[in-house]
């Protein structure tokens, strides 16, 4: 290696090694490279620590560059050996074990340390941060001996730690000093929705609490708060922030403020010494997210390789969080302040929220909850800073006005410009991924290896898969199959086929036989398995209540204040004076704060206390409207020929017949129906999961519609002449959806995925249609209204776990 310049990297983390990767690509023969790492591992993905904690990944899974990569690139690597001193005069570094390395260029990528609150007892055993693999190991060990955990900090890192501990079987309480979670990444409505979802998964919260001290002897036993209250806990995880690791730089005489001060080319106050990553402070900002650190690394690599480049000018940041099926995205400046305008959509039933913030006709910020599909596209527009005047609602709704029928992921990806960023962490554009696919990358793994897309947080993997499907014609290999959750690598089809072939009859049996990574499963796979088993064995399988979501266990929708929403069934939106009186009397007796007509022509009793739920249902003595369930929700009707001068058919009668036939049906996702008495379509049947529209002499049946955040106009399935045919086709369609769709997949997504043609081919066969109708009838014959069971069976009511305190 004679004649090469000597490049030393202090810190074997993501930012520093990414810089080295770029240097090797730009100038592979310039440097003799030495890397020092404090941890005893090769370069790994710190973003995926939460996945390790919940058991979805192990150390091998999160390694970015393995030992062979260092050898193949001629890099001297010293792991578990932190640099303790820099001799800037003689240009040498010295490690803890005594290794001495000379440099011509030095990069400090020392990262950051978890901030530990300076409170009494913070040094006790059982008080830890959440920053590296060792912290994960300590938490997993603690979960085997102790059951109560407190996580201080309701930010991104704290919630990921809390979800991991919850998955390990601990009772977890998150303590946050602010009124709502993730205040740096979310606005209040999105944060409240996140909190409700996490509470439904079992997480507890103490908001606006200031921790005053850790109680206990040698080991932590709990927390004391400034207001005099306390909490018992055996494990305390501090996730209140990070602080740049600047000790080495300060001792070396470099300018240090919050971080190591660098210029636009990442050079420190001393020539030939650079800093990159979380330890660096650029224009007063020390970044803690991976995308800005990678952007810094690109600029520094070009500088070191002698390639002409503009300086680093700072980053617009975005954040993506995925906690057990909860998707959250934010980017840019998303708070409402004078000079900005915001547009938002909130759907509490679907659990989705979308907000965009505009300033001077430019998109400056966005918050997405529940559905983050548009995150990459919105972030690209924020970074470009171009005018979006006249396109504001298009950005909010996620598709061009008037083109809801084209609102598929494939259409969106095809419409994206080549320079739009798909992988925000690694700055990988659509064009780069498409080029890789056309160049021969035939799997997501190969694309990741070639471009780094999906190689960090993994949030962009669905988009990468979509591009592979869209542009991968003729490319060998199949996209990597994703399991239904981190507990298994098996997909929906493999699981259902295995259950059927091996006659598996319980959730536990499925997990054992199919070798689940996590023997107890999680809140994503347990409800899915519970549904698949009930769908396959309707006459044998006993529904596992503990595997259902919290709303389905309570048979009511939990509200943000902890009360519940009770919605009795009102068939086709038609009621009677007697039922109205009954509802009014119950509302008065139990001091229901609000009685509201819903969009589905029902009455909603909002604010019911948990302890009153069984009594409210008993006194209503009405079937549940299943407003909380993956089930038939409503059948909306117009007055049709009964009263309307335009009506051609009895839409009320048809709607009530449909609702009474399918009201107790469990489905992969919620299902909404509607019946319109004429093509004027007052019941909005063409944006429902299944809609029936009366025409002269018959009925049109439409499927796959959605009127929520992702609006989709439905497709015409067929035209029939009689009400009996409507019932037959509806039964067959719903059963085919039940048997073929993935858990939590709405009909709109299912129809787009499998194609209307496939569905028509099956249902147009009279014999197959009758078989499907027979199977759904068998399922319905075994089902009863859940509240009837609880009201009539005292022992069942006493043992009803979610209401055990009643």
Report how far residue 586's alpha carbon sits from residue 605's, in angstroms, rounded to the nearest whole number: 9
Question: For residue 553, how many C-alpha atoms fall within 13 Å in the half-sphere facing its CB?
Answer: 19
Number of other CB atoms surrounding residue 17 within 10 Å: 24
Q: Calculate the CA dihedral of residues 632, 638, 643, 644 and round it to 10 degrees.
A: -150
Q: Which of 664, 627, 617 is nearest to 806 (CA)?
A: 617
> What phi and psi values does residue 650 have, to the nearest 5 degrees?
-80, 85
Within 10 angstroms of residue 419's Cβ, the number of other Cβ atoms is 11
Q: Which segments within 609-687 are labelled E, that is strand?
A: 632-637, 671-676
In sequence order, which ranges of 201-336 are alpha helices (DSSP H)? 247-251, 290-305
The burial of 306, by beta-carbon neighbours within 10 Å (0-12 exposed, 13-18 middle, 19 or more buried), is given as exposed
Tokens linked to 192? 């409240």
Task: State in Å, rounded, how far the first CA of the chain is from the last one.
Answer: 77
Q: What dihedral do alpha carbons 36, 38, 41, 42 form, nearest 10°?
A: -30
**Stretch (H or E) spanning 223:** strand 220-225
Q: Which two tokens stand for residue 369?
A: 């909850």
Q: 314 vs 266, 732, 764, CA distance in Å?
A: 11, 57, 59
CB 170 within 8 A of CB 147: yes
Q: What is the 3-state secondary structure (H, E, C) of 462-510?
A: HHHHHHHHHHCCCCCCCCCCCCCECCECCCHHHHHHHHHHHCCCCHHHH
CB atoms within 10 A of CB 26: 16
CA dihedral 786, 791, 794, 799 (to 10 degrees): 40
Work out whether the CA dihedral 255, 260, 262, 268 comes out positive or negative: positive
Residue 161 makes CB contacts below 8 A (sequence gap 6+) with 50, 53, 130, 139, 151, 237, 239
Cα dihedral 550/55/173/122 (nearest 10): 180
b/e code 627-656 from CB counts within 10 Å (16+ = b): bbbbbbbbbbbbbbbeeeeebbbbbbbbbb
Task: Check whether 522 is labelled as a binding-site residue.
Answer: no
The whole-angstrom distance between residue 22's C-alpha and the CA centroid of its chain comes to 31
- The Cα 637–Cα 676 span in angstroms is 6
Show the beta-strand stretches assigned E in 638-707: 671-676, 690-695, 698-703
Distances 761 to 255, 464, 729, 756 between C-alpha atoms, Å: 71, 30, 13, 9
Residue 216: which H helix or E strand, with range?
Answer: strand 211-216
SS3 (DSSP) at 114: strand
Whether 614 and 586 have beta carbons less than 8 Å apart is answered as: no
- Determine if residue 682 is labeled as part of a ligand binding site: yes
Q: Are strands 352-359 and 171-176 parallel, antiparallel or unpaired?
A: unpaired
**Is the Cβ–Cβ distance between 487 and 54 less than 8 Å?**
no
State the binding site.
638, 644, 678, 682
Residues flagged as binding site for [4Fe-4S] cluster: 638, 644, 678, 682
Known binding-site residues for siroheme equal 682
């Amino acid at each position: 290696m004679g004649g090469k310049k000597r490049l030393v990297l202090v810190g074997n983390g993501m930012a520093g090694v990414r810089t080295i990767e770029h240097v090797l690509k730009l100038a592979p023969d310039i440097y003799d490279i030495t890397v020092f790492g404090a941890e005893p591992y090769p370069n790994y993905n710190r973003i995926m620590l939460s996945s390790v904690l919940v058991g979805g990944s192990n150390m091998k899974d999160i390694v970015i560059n393995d030992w062979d990569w260092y050898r193949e690139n001629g890099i001297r690597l010293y792991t578990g050996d932190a640099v303790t001193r820099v001799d800037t005069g003689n240009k040498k570094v010295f490690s803890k074990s005594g290794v001495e390395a000379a440099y011509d260029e030095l990069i400090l990528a020392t990262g950051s340390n978890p901030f530990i609150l300076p409170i009494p007892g913070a040094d006790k055993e059982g008080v830890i941060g959440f920053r590296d693999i060792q912290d994960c190991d300590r938490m997993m060990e603690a979960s085997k001996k102790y059951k109560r955990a407190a996580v201080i900090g309701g930010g991104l890192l704290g919630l990921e730690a809390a979800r991991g501990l919850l998955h390990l079987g601990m009772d977890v309480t998150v303590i946050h000093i602010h009124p709502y979670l993730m205040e740096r990444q979310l606005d209040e409505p999105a944060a409240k929705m996140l909190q409700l979802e996490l509470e439904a998964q079992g997480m507890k919260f103490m908001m606006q609490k200031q921790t005053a001290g850790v109680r206990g002897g040698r080991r932590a036993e709990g927390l004391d708060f400034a207001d005099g209250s306390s909490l018992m806990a055996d494990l305390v995880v501090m996730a209140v922030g990070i602080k740049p690791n600047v000790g080495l730089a300060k001792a070396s005489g470099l300018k240090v403020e919050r971080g190591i001060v660098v210029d636009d080319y990442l050079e420190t106050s001393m020539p030939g010494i650079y800093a990159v990553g979380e330890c660096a402070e650029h224009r007063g900002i020390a970044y803690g997210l991976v995308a800005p650190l990678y952007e810094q690394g690109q600029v520094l690599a070009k500088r070191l390789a002698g390639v002409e480049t503009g300086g680093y000018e700072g980053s617009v940041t975005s954040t993506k969080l995925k906690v057990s099926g909860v998707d959250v995205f934010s980017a840019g400046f998303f708070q409402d302040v004078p000079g900005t305008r915001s547009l938002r959509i909130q759907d509490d039933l679907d659990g989705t929220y979308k907000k965009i913030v505009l300033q001077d006709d430019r998109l400056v910020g966005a918050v997405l909850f529940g559905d983050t599909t548009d995150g990459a596209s919105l972030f690209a527009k924020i970074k470009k800073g171009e005018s979006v005047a006249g396109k504001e609602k298009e950005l909010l709704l996620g598709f061009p006005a008037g083109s809801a029928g084209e609102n598929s992921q494939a259409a969106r990806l095809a419409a994206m410009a080549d320079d739009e960023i798909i992988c925000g962490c690694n700055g990988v554009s659509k064009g780069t991924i498409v080029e890789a696919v056309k160049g021969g990358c035939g799997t997501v793994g190969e694309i990741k290896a070639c471009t780094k897309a999906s190689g960090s947080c993994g949030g962009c993997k669905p988009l990468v898969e979509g591009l592979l499907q869209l542009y991968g014609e003729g490319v060998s290999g199949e996209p990597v199959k994703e399991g239904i959750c981190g507990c298994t690598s098996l997909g929906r089809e493999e699981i259902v086929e295995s259950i059927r072939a091996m006659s598996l009859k319980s959730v536990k049996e499925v997990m054992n036989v199919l070798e689940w990574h996590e023997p107890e499963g999680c809140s994503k796979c347990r409800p899915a398995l519970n549904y698949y088993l009930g769908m396959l064995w309707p006459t044998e399988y006993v529904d596992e209540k503990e595997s259902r979501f919290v709303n389905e266990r309570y048979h009511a929708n939990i509200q943000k204040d902890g009360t519940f929403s009770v919605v009795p069934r009102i068939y086709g939106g038609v009621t009677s004076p007697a039922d109205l009186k009954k509802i009014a009397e119950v509302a008065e007796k139990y001091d229901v704060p609000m009685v509201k007509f819903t969009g589905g022509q029902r009455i909603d009793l909002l604010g019911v206390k948990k302890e009153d739920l069984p009594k409210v249902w008993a006194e209503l003595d009405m079937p549940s409207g299943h407003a909380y369930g993956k089930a038939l929700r409503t059948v909306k009707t117009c007055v049709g020929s009964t009263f309307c001068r335009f009506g051609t058919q009895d839409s009320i009668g048809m709607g009530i017949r449909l609702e009474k036939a399918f009201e107790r049906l469990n489905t992969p996702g919620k299902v909404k129906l509607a019946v319109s008495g004429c093509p004027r379509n007052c019941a909005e049947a063409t944006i429902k999961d299944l809609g029936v529209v009366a025409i002269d002499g018959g009925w049109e049946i439409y499927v796959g519609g959605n009127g929520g955040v992702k609006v989709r106009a439905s497709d015409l399935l067929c035209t029939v002449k009689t009400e009996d045919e409507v019932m037959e086709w509806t039964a067959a369609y719903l059963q085919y959806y039940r048997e073929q769709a993935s858990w939590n997949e709405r009909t709109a997504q299912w129809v787009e995925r499998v194609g209307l043609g496939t569905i028509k081919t099956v249902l147009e066969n009279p014999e197959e249609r009758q078989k499907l109708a027979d199977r759904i009838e068998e399922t319905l014959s075994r089902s009863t209204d859940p509240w009837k069971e609880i009201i009539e069976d005292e022992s069942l009511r006493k043992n009803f776990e979610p209401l055990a305190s009643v």
